Amino acid sequence: MGQIEIITANTAAAIAAKLCRVQVVSAYPITPQTPVTEELAEMVESGSLKAEYITVESEHSALASVIAASQVGARVFTATSANGLLYMHEMLHWAAGSRVPIVMACVNRGVGAPWTILNDQQDTISQRDTGWIQIYCRNSQEVLDTIVQAYSLAEQIQIPVMVCYDGFILSHTNTPVDVPSQEEVDRFLPALEDTSGINGGTPMNVNPLILSDPRPGPNGALMPGYMEFRYLLQQDILKSTQILELVDRQFSDIIGRSWGGSIWKYKMEDADHAIVSMGSLASECTLAADMLRNRGVKVGVVGLRVYRPFPASQIAESLSRLKTVTFFEKDVSYGYHGAVAMDAKAALYESACRPTVSAYVVGLGGRDIRPEQLAEATNSCVGGSTGHHWLDVRN
């Protein structure tokens, strides 16, 4: 059996990595991620975590280090935030294309310039097309559990996973977390089997130059060209939706908690209207929904747990029958709108019935957003307002 601890999401992430028996950790400190790396370094120094901690000079090197360690069969972990994640950009593509099962905690923070250390989700949203699975957590318990689940998912499909959670709102806030026992996690997540062949003494060239068209390999079999590698990565990322649901059920059977698959719902059974969001903001939206229900407006919440692969079919099924949908998100695709609303509207395009949609960019750079504001904006959509807006911009 596990035990209840009063901890931050950063501590939960570090504990999760330890419970997963990671063998190599490499990270570069950046606010608000730094406590994750500090706690893991302390675990390695004390001997409570039997792992190698690689000290590096940058986030680019941190990710390069765990890519190499993963390629030779180690279970690896790293973490970052904001501009540190952007500095990893080249290596993000390299990790996904190399099909290494890295798990990385991304502590969401606004991107400079101008500088901020506070929260929004622009950092990870801007890296959505790098080939990583992206999972967004609403509280510290979900952070711990999702990191454990992410290793099972990543190792089954050989694709890296970002576990994203809001800086300071979650990363530095103490809440009760049920920490599972090592025995329970070992039952759920067996030791990583090295299938690379690199440690077997077989000479090989890892990630050589690939030509455009398929060509015969050393044994005469036709090998993929560059486009085939991209296609296979795309197909396996799409398959991850079903695998995550299976992983969550297995986790529930052993640990006793379930977080659902790609989306979660709150009071949607009889809802005429929905709020859509992700991360801790989606939890706050449940308070707004309760406020509106107290006024007699049947509002529910659809929370995105997974942003990539985008759960298009689940979104369409959940939203198409409704009268209105209001999106709230902490990012913007400059020159257009919020990324989540854009993707969701595309998912609804082929639905016979489509709701009236209004979308809001909120909370950038840590701007406080209150449930009352979310409720009023949603009520405006219920009343017929449409379009894309920035909430609480003070001219």
Place of tokens 């330890």: 18
Residue 6 binned pLDDT confidence (cut-offs 50, 70, 90): very high
Residue 12's nearest CA partner among 115, 151, 126, 165 is 165
pLDDT digits (tens, 9 = 90+) for 254-287: 999 999 899 999 999 999 999 999 999 999 999 9
Taking residues 352-359, report their average pLDDT.
93
Q: How far apart are CA 5 and CA 82, in angstroms?
A: 28
Q: Is 366 left (phi over 0), alpha (psi -120 to 50) or beta?
A: left
> Given this chain, do its domains 3-188 and 263-390 carry the same CATH topology?
yes
3-state SS string over 151-219?
A: HHHHHHHCCCEEEEEECCCCCCCCEEEEECCHHHHHHHCCCCCCCCCHHHCCCCCCCCCCCCCCEECCC
* pLDDT computed for residue 279 by the predictor: 97
pLDDT digits (tens, 9 = 90+) for 36-59: 999 999 999 999 999 999 999 999
Adjacent-strand bridge partners of 263: 304
User: 263-390 — its CATH code?
Assistant: 3.40.50.920
Residue 129 binned pLDDT confidence (cut-offs 50, 70, 90): very high
Taking residues 314-339, report their average pLDDT.
97
Return the percentage of the chain with pLDDT > 70, whole number: 98
Cα dihedral 183/258/277/382 (nearest 10): -160
Q: How far apart are CA 274 and CA 147, in angstroms?
A: 28
Residue 72's nearest CA partner among 251, 208, 181, 196 is 196
The DSSP line for 83-145 is HHHHHTHHHHHHHHHHT---EEEEEE-PPSSSP--S--SHHHHTTTTSS-EEEE-SSHHHHHH
* pLDDT computed for residue 262 by the predictor: 97
Burial class (CB in 10 A: 0-12, 13-18, 19+), 134: buried
Adjacent-strand bridge partners of 108: 166
* Helices 312-319, 339-348: inter-axial angle, 10-degree rounding: 70
Residue 95's nearest CA partner among 57, 133, 52, 58 is 133
Taking residues 294-310, report their average pLDDT.
98
* pLDDT computed for residue 217 by the predictor: 83
Task: Say if residue 85's pLDDT is above 80.
Answer: yes
User: 3-188 — its CATH code?
Assistant: 3.40.50.970
Neighbours of 35 (CB within 10 A): 20
Helix (H, G, I), strand (E, B) or coil at 300: strand
| Amino acid letter, residue 243 | I
Q: How far apart are CA 166 and CA 189, in angstroms?
A: 26
Taking residues 364-368, report their average pLDDT.
97
Question: How do the domains of the chain map onto residue ranges?
Answer: 3-188, 263-390
Q: Are 175 and 147 in contact (CB under 8 A)?
A: no
Taking residues 360-381, report their average pLDDT.
97
The DSSP line for 3-23 is EEEEE-HHHHHHHHHHHTT-S
Q: How far apart are CA 42 and CA 31, in angstroms?
A: 18
Residue 2 binned pLDDT confidence (cut-offs 50, 70, 90): confident
* pLDDT computed for residue 151 by the predictor: 98
* pLDDT computed for residue 357 by the predictor: 96
Taking residues 160-181, report their average pLDDT.
98
Q: What is the mean pLDDT of the chain?
A: 95
Q: Which two tokens stand for residue 342?
A: 């854009």
pLDDT digits (tens, 9 = 90+) for 173-229: 999 999 999 999 999 999 998 776 676 667 667 777 888 899 988 888 998 999 999
The DSSP line for 239-291 is HHHHHHHHHHHHHHHHHS----SSEEEES-TT-SEEEEEETHHHHHHHHHHHH
Q: What angle (nearest 5°) sits at the alpha carbon of residue 169, between those of residues 391 and 109?
A: 70
* pLDDT computed for residue 395 by the predictor: 74
Q: How far apart are CA 104 and CA 392, in angstroms?
A: 32
